[in-house]
Amino acid sequence: MALGNRSRRTKALAVAAVVGAAVLGLWWTGGWGALWELFSNQEQIRRVVENWGVLAPMVFVLLLVAQAVLAPLPAPAVAAAGGFVFGTFEGFVYTWLGVLLGGSLCFGLSRAFGRRFVASNDRLEGLDRRMEEHGAIVIFVLRLIPLISFDAISYAAGLSCISFWRFLLATALGSAPGTFVFVYLGGASLGPSVYAALIGLAVLTVVAYVFFRRLSKG
pLDDT at residue 8, rounded to an integer: 52
Does residue 186 contact residue 60 with C-beta atoms inside 8 Å?
Answer: no
Domain with 204 in it: 2-217
Residue range 103-117, pLDDT digits in tens: 999 999 888 887 776
* Angle, alpha carbons 137-168-11 (nearest 5°): 110
Residue range 50-84, pLDDT digits in tens: 999 999 999 999 999 988 887 667 788 888 899 99
pLDDT at residue 33, rounded to an integer: 59
pLDDT at residue 22, rounded to an integer: 52
Question: pTM, whole model, 2 decimals?
Answer: 0.80
pLDDT at residue 118, rounded to an integer: 65
Does residue 186 contact residue 166 with C-beta atoms inside 8 Å?
Answer: no
Residues of the chain with pLDDT under 50: 1-3, 26
* Angle, alpha carbons 59-81-139 (nearest 5°): 85
pLDDT at residue 3, rounded to an integer: 47
Does residue 102 contact residue 135 with C-beta atoms inside 8 Å?
Answer: no
Count: domains in the chain: 1
Does residue 163 contact residue 104 with C-beta atoms inside 8 Å?
Answer: no
Query: What's the rounded Cα separation, in Å, for the pair 68 and 99?
Result: 8
DSSP code at position 190: S
